[in-house]
Amino acid sequence: MDFELSEDHLTTQKWVHEFAEKEIRPVAAHYDEAEEFPWPVLKRAAEVGLFGLEFYLETLAADPSGLMFPVCFEETCWGCAGISLGIWGSGLPLTTLAYSGTPEQLLQWAPLMFGTADDPKVGALCVTEPDAGSDVSALRTRARRDGDEWVLNGQKVFITNGGIASVHVVVATVDPALGHRGQAAFIVGPGNPGLRQGKKERKLGIRASHTAGVLLEDYRIPLEDVVGGVERLEAKLEQARSEGPSRGSAALKTFEMTRPSVAAQAVGIARAAFEFSRDYAKERTQFGRPIIDNQGVAFKLADMAMESDAARLRGIDVEAEGRRDRGLGHRTGDPDPGRVRLRQGLPGREVVPRREDLHPVRGDLRDPADRDQPRARPLSPKSLFPLTP
């Protein structure tokens, strides 16, 4: 696997970065304070071709490495994470349709999730409920079959674009006894009073993104609007009842496909935080010199930069890393455990000290940053003050 960015990635990255710098950054504070959905920015993004189904199909989905979406997401999040979620939030329901829907469903509903450059629209994926967050198998929203229709009833919470979307993809339980294997996703189009927006969340961050509850009261949709079609659902339920292996759920498949982009979102935010801090530290003068000239400040900034880069590289093959470390002449030839851990992104995993000559006072490793390391020896008054009798 090669994680080097291609020429295509680099060109698109530069283009998205320029959009973030010119169109997102200047209005970020306004939308964050006002907690307004950034429709004008979406309109601008649609005009230049960044927001829309074509961009997903021709640039993101067409990239065989899968890196294009995280690359773009990192750049827009560098601009403003809330506005960025406004631009990319429709990707969640689109992914459900793309990976679990029929080609006809994708053709019919996907364009409605984006609208046009003059009149942009958004989509929403509704999974989470008051008592079903991490535990997706506990969903209570019910889909009951009534003749040629499904009747949906339930309550969703924390839904990105919930209530303002023109298409809601709602995950509901058809057979509660089967846990997540008894669930299916349903497509809810615009203009039916059976779907209402619930409470809009007031958030501490990503405030330009709209997060709200969704209420479904006897919402009726045609049978064919179950994602993947009725026949596939019935076959899946049949298989689950006979306790065969699970074919997976549309919700879990969507999360699997979209989680790397959530990590890229965090990297974009971290990079912006680092740059703001660095610039301030260069500009702020105390005791006659910029505060960045103090090692204590500069080291913190260096750690921030290193950790953001390490987070971006977390997928790098550990074996390859080992070979590279051997090339640099490490004593044992093993990859440095701290660096491996950082690149694997496994915080909390125990790091085996490789060096015997640990610092006598701190008792921890010095590379990488101390605060990333568990204590190699528990701290005791004796280890802190070795001369104590």
Ligand X SMILES: Cc1cc2nc3c(=O)[nH]c(=O)nc-3n(C[C@H](O)[C@H](O)[C@H](O)COP(=O)(O)OP(=O)(O)OC[C@H]3O[C@@H](n4cnc5c(N)ncnc54)[C@H](O)[C@@H]3O)c2cc1C
- Give min distance, CB of 177 to ligand X, in A: 22
What is the rounded end-to-end Cα distance, in angstroms, of the chain? 56
Preceding peptide of 190 cis, ω within 30°: no
* Cα gap 264→69, rounded to integer Å: 9
Tokens found for residue 222 = 């045609």
Q: Which stretch binds ligand X (CB under 6 A): 126-134, 139-147, 178-186, 265-273?
A: 126-134
Size of the site for ligand X (CB under 6 A): 12
Note whether 97 binds ligand X by CB under 6 A.
no
Which of 41, 60, 125, 195: binder of ligand X (CB under 6 A)? 125
User: Please, which residues have CB within 8 angstroms of residue 196's CB and are 6 or more apart in sequence?
Assistant: 163, 214, 215, 217
Residues 201-230 that bind ligand X (CB under 6 A): 206, 211
Cβ contact 114:54 at 8 Å: no
Instruction: Give least dist CB 248 to ligand X, A.
Output: 17
- The Cα 358–Cα 367 span in angstroms is 11
Q: Is 73 in the site for ligand X (CB under 6 A)?
A: no
128 contacts ligand X (rule: CB under 6 A): yes
Scanning 63-71, 119-127, 234-242, 359-367 for contacts with ligand X by CB under 6 A, the matching segment is: 119-127
Q: Minimum distance from CB of 279 to ligand X (Å)?
A: 28
Q: Which stretch binds ligand X (CB under 6 A): 15-23, 123-131, 228-236, 376-384?
A: 123-131
Ranked by CB distance to ligand X, the top (closest) residue is 133
Q: Minimal distance in Å, beta carbon 94 to ligand X?
A: 12
Q: Is 133 in the site for ligand X (CB under 6 A)?
A: yes
Q: Quick one: 109 or 292, whose CB is closer to ligand X?
A: 109
Q: In angstroms, what is the minimal distance from the CB of 141 to ligand X?
A: 11
**3-state DSSP of 239-296:** HHHCCCCCCCCHHHHHHHHHHHHHHHHHHHHHHHHHHHHHHHHHHCEECCEEHHHCHH
Per rule CB under 6 A, is residue 158 in the interface with ligand X?
Answer: yes
Please identify which residue in the block is written with the tokens 């950054």.
25
Shortest CB 192 distance to ligand X, Å: 20
Q: Which is nearer to ligand X, 60 or 126 (CB)?
A: 126
Is the Cβ of residue 12 or residue 211 nearer to ligand X in the bound state?
211
Segment interacting with ligand X, rule: CB under 6 A, options 120-128, 231-239, 325-333, 370-378? 120-128
Q: Which is nearer to ligand X, 163 or 335 (by Cβ)?
A: 163
| Contact call for residue 159 and ligand X (CB under 6 A) | yes
Q: How far apart are CA 266 and CA 275, in angstroms?
A: 14
**Shortest distance in whole angstroms from residue 113 CB to ligand X:** 13
126 lies in the binding site for ligand X (CB under 6 A): yes
Output the smallest distance, CB 136 to ligand X, in A.
8
**Residues 6 or more apart whose Cβ sits within 8 Å of residue 316:** 3, 343
Q: Is 134 one of the binding residues for ligand X (CB under 6 A)?
A: yes
Name residue, tokens 């209530």: 163
**Between the CA of residue 292 and those of 178, 193, 273, 306, what are the distances in Å?**
58, 58, 15, 17
Please provide the DSSP assignment of 37-55 as one string. Answer: --HHHHHHHHHHTSSSHHH
| Planar angle of CA 200, 222, 108, nearest 5 degrees | 75
- Report the nearest approach of ligand X to the CB of residue 183 (Å): 12
**Binding test (CB under 6 A) with ligand X, winner from 141, 160, 249, 373:** 160
| Phi, psi for residue 177 in degrees, rounded to 5 | -65, -20
Q: Which two tokens stand for residue 112?
A: 């409605």
User: In angstroms, what is the minimal distance from the CB of 203 to ligand X?
Assistant: 6
| Cβ 208 vs Cβ 37: under 8 Å | yes
Chain residues that interact with ligand X, rule: CB under 6 A:
92, 125-128, 133-134, 158-160, 206, 211
